[in-house]
Structure 1
Amino acid sequence: MLATRAAVVETMTSVTATTSSESPGLSASAGRGARAGSPRQRLQKLLAVPGYDPCRVNDLLLLRPDTDGRTAAGLTEESGNRHVVFFHGDIQNFEEEMALQPEGAQWLSWSLEQVALTLGRRFPDRHVWVVRAGRMYLHKFSSYRNFVESNMFGAPEHSPYSPDSGAFLQLRALLSHGMERANLPNPPRPEGGADSLLSGFSLAVVGFSKGCVVLNQMVYELAGARADLQMCHFVEGVSDMYWLDGGHPGGSETWVTNKQLLKELASSEVSVHAHVTPYEVCDPMRAWVGHEHGHFIRTLEEFGARPSKNLHFEDEPPSIENHFRVIQEF
């Protein structure tokens, strides 16, 4: 299942590529054609999408909802304003780049394109966005430095909310510019405000492995973002947060453990989901990961939240294969 698959690489030409030097977005006819075809044909690559700072760019993959049997009006009403954003882990990259790297080629089944298609099956009525990390050190280590201060290996330095930087600001700007480039209606305005979102906007945020550092940073920012009149409406649109087997190379703060921060999360309208495997939470060499995960869950429950929690593959030996498989199982 995890072996290199030549067929995957051969089908890469079906992915629509858009570079930053081209005119923003697809034409209306191209957008309609992409929505009408197979899952691969509904997948669009958007390169160098700017965030809140034009220098803070991220590449995006967009998988549009499958609208077979539904009208364009139905898309607007049912799923046109519902989104899922995914932050990947180490090794994961675009297929063509993974295929060129000895360490990456063996994990092509978990490329960003394949993950987008998997999420499309999990969330068939939503627009699925996969955010590529701003830096891939040695083609291996993902660093989300556009969202949270991070070293070259991706270990984060979390900080409170700032109206001038941070995870919420970067995410809102990426969605705004990405939706504009993809010709999607009603993108959020980068500057925020009460009328910056169409009614019904809904966003689920999913982090896998290293990608969970972005979700952790959002928790650090939550109180300040909810109090900021320019940001609070965007934050209110976040319906769900999924932590999938979080991990990073730092020696602590793999999971948020600060009680005040978790109290804020528990008091929000966000539904919290934590899916883990023995690869992360049962590793005796990194025992703090399991301890922090337990503290995260218990503290949220103490404050009245009801996080969904799942330990997958608990009867199997810890393995990186099962670490990746949580993306399919959550």
Structure 2
Amino acid sequence: MFHSWRHSSSNYKTVYFLLACWRPFMSLERRQWHRIEGAGGKTNDILHGLCQSGIKHSDTNVLYFPGDVQETEEYMKKGPNHEWIQWSYETTVDRLCERFPRSNTFLVRPRRMVKETFNCFDHFVNGNLLGAPDHANSFGALHHITEIVGRLESDLGLSRDWMIVGFSHGCVVLNQISYEIAALEEIDSKPSGNEDFKKSCKDPDDDVNILDGVSTLAADWLKSHDVTSIRDFISRIKVLYWLDGGHSGQGNTWITDDATIRALTVIPDIRVHVTPYQMKDKTRPWLEREERQFVDKLKGYGGNVTEQMHFKDEEKSLSIHFNLLQEF
């Protein structure tokens, strides 16, 4: 059962509302869902931009993870980042609905915000106080996403294909997904192990061993997740978008691990869009270096990846960083 979002603005008199846009050729609908349950009792709020041809007539669905600063219009207009209110959750969902008019768009609200700026995706990836990630291939982002997506598909009658978009800090979720895909790749590729290990990984309700020998970390991951559903969801991810990834940490912003990048080639379409805001930041030189490694290695392993630098002749600024959401 979906509930209304706790941060409803004064314009949101009901859970369901119609936004009458000033654009004469379109009207956009949004719905707010509060505390959608995923894995292990974890919940996230969702802002849903409805497909313009109807929920059940969409070709695919978009799952969007926002960047730092972004919040609801009501929150942003009262806080220190009010000058960026044009990139609130509501307007961003509207832009994504325009970008993908035959898709349902779902913005996933982070668990917490620190200093009214830093969004922290604690339910998807482990991190520090400011949300800088500590990636591990056993954390459970895919399990949580699979459970949330399953509820959305069941309750709303959605199509089953998905695109996942991460913007700025939101790209840490895509990175975590990638590490977990690599964990599944390890599980699938290992040869048979010893009998004691097999018994420890045996489904008590089945006579068939869940897997043969893999590392302890991968085994722990397997025993704590619904791997069949997760594999099914991975097979239905059609596109991953990395949009100007960045976070407050001192590195590990883009994936450079070979095994993880090689496993990521299972995704049919990967798109990387960047701006000088991240790539030309002299105080964080690792951003450009890591991004280059990510794209080059992905191409080297046969991945279908496209890369585009936007606003390349403009000065580094937060404005062009946010404007990417309109240009990609």
TM-score interval w.r.t. the shorter chain? 0.7 to 0.9
Distance in 1 separating the partners of 2:256 and 2:240 = 16
Q: Is the 8 A contact 2:125 2:173 kept in 1?
A: yes
C-alpha distance in 2 between matches for 1:135 and 1:44: 21
The match for 1:106 is 83
Offset of residue 176 of structure 1: 2.9
| Offset from partner CA, 1:225-277 (integer Å, 9 cap, x none) | 465333211110000000000001111110000011111112x1331100000
Per the alignment, residue 185 of structure 1 pairs with 157
Distance 2:12 2:181 in 1: 35
Q: Are residues 1:259 and 2:258 paired?
A: yes
Counterpart position of 1:119 = 96
Report if aligned partners of 1:204, 1:238 keep a CA contact under 8 Å in 2: yes
1:229 counterpart = 2:203: no
Residue 289 of structure 1 corresponds to 287
**Counterpart contact for 1:225–1:231, Cα < 8 Å:** no
How far apart, in 2, do the equivalents of 1:17 and 1:235 lie?
Answer: 34
Is the 8 Å Cα contact of residues 16 and 44 (structure 1) preserved in structure 2?
no
d(CA) in 2 for partners of 1:136, 1:65:
29
Check 1:239–1:283 CA distance in 2 against 1; reply closer, same or farther (3 A cut).
same
**Following the alignment from structure 2 to structure 1, what is the Cα–Cα distance between the partners of residues 231 and 111?**
25
Residues 311 and 83 (structure 1 numbering): CA distance in 2 closer, same or farther, change over 3 Å?
Answer: same
Question: What is the SS of the residue equivalent to 2:291?
Answer: helix
For 2:90, give the aligned amino acid: E
SS in 1 for 2:40: coil
Among 37, 41, 63, the residue aligned to 1:50: 37
Matched residue SS, 2:285: helix
Tell me the equivalent position of 1:210: 169
What letter matches 1:223 in structure 2?
A
Within 1, Cα distance between the matches of 2:89 and 2:27?
12
Whole-angstrom distance in 2 between the partners of 1:251 and 1:146:
22
How large is the Cα RMSD of the aligned pairs?
Answer: 2.3
The answer to whether the 8 Å contact 1:277/1:313 transfers is yes
Which letter does structure 2 place at the counterpart of 1:241?
Answer: L
2-structure distance, mates of 1:238, 1:41 = 25
Q: Is the 8 A contact 1:279 1:318 kept in 2?
A: yes
Say whether the 8 Å CA contact 1:91–1:140 is kept in structure 2: yes
For residue 171 of structure 1, the aligned residue among 126, 132, 145 is 145
Give the length in aligned residue pairs.
277
Q: Check whether the contact 1:15–1:44 (CA below 8 A) recurs between aligned residues.
A: no
Identity within the alignment, %: 31
Matched, 1:85 2:63: yes
CA distance in structure 2 between the partners assigned to 1:94 and 1:225 by the alignment: 36
Which string of whole-angstrom CA distances, capped at 9 and with x for unpartnered residues, describes residues 296-322 of structure 1?
011011111231101111101000000
TM-score by length of 2: 0.79
8 Å CA contact retained: 1:15, 1:40: no
Q: Could you give the per-residue CA deviations for residues 274-300 of structure 1, whole angstroms, max 9, x where no partner exists? A: 000011011111000000000001101
Structure-2 residue corresponding to 1:63: 49
* Change over 3 Å in CA distance of 1:100–1:178 after alignment to 2: farther
Write the distance in 1 (CA, Å) between the matches of 2:38 and 2:116.
Answer: 22
Corresponding residue number in structure 2 for 1:196: none
- Letter of the structure 2 residue corresponding to residue 309 of structure 1: E
From 108, 111, 127, the counterpart of 1:150: 127
For residues 15 and 265 of structure 1, the distance between their equivalents in structure 2, rounded to whole angstroms, comes to 40
1:53 Cα deviation from its structure 2 partner: 2.2
Supply the distance in 2 between the matched residues of 1:168 and 1:17 (Cα, whole angstroms).
Answer: 31
> What is the CA-CA distance between 1:95 and the residue it aligns to?
0.7
Q: Residue 300 of structure 1: which of 298, 315, 323 is its match?
A: 298
Q: Helix, strand or coil for the counterpart of 2:157?
A: coil
Q: Which residue of 1 aligns with 2:274?
A: 276
Gaps spanning 5+ residues in structure 1: where?
1-10, 19-29, 187-199
Aligned-partner residue type, residue 36 of structure 2: V
- Structure with higher Rg: it is 2
1:85–1:131 Cα contact (<8 Å) kept:
yes
Find the aligned partners of 2:268 and 2:107 in 1 and give their Cα distance: 20
User: Within the alignment, does 1:136 sit opposite 2:113 as a pair?
Assistant: yes
C-alpha spacing 1:284/1:89, structure 2 compared with 1 (3 Å): same
